[in-house]
Copies of this chain bind each other. A is one copy, B any other.
Amino acid sequence: MKIFAPSMLAVALVAALPASHAQQQSNPAVPGYAYGQRALVKAPYTMADLKSLQASLLFTEEDIKALRQSKAILADQTDAILDVWYGFVASTPELVYFFSDAKTGKPDGAYLEAVRKRFALWILDTADANYDQRWLDWQHEIGLRHNRLKKNKTDRAPSVAQVNFRYIPALTIPITTTLKPFLAKKGASSADVERMHAAWVKSVLMQSILWSQPYIKDGEF
Contacts and interface: CB of A to CB of B under 8 A. Distances in A.
A162 interface: yes
B209 A220 contact: no
17 contacts: A3-B60, A56-B92, A56-B170, A56-B174, A148-B220, A164-B220, A165-B216, A166-B209, A169-B169, A169-B212, A170-B205, A172-B205, A173-B202, A212-B212, A215-B216, A215-B220, A215-B221
A171 interface: yes
A112 to B, nearest CB: 17
Interface of A: 3, 49, 52-53, 55-60, 92, 94-95, 147-148, 162, 164-167, 169-174, 177, 198, 201-202, 205-206, 208-209, 212, 215-217, 220-221
Contacts of A165: 212, 216, 220-221
B173 A201 contact: yes
Contacts of A59: 173
Given A3-B60, A53-B166, A201-B201, 16 more contacts: A56-B94, A56-B173, A57-B170, A57-B173, A148-B220, A162-B220, A164-B220, A166-B209, A169-B169, A169-B205, A170-B206, A173-B205, A177-B198, A212-B212, A215-B216, A217-B217
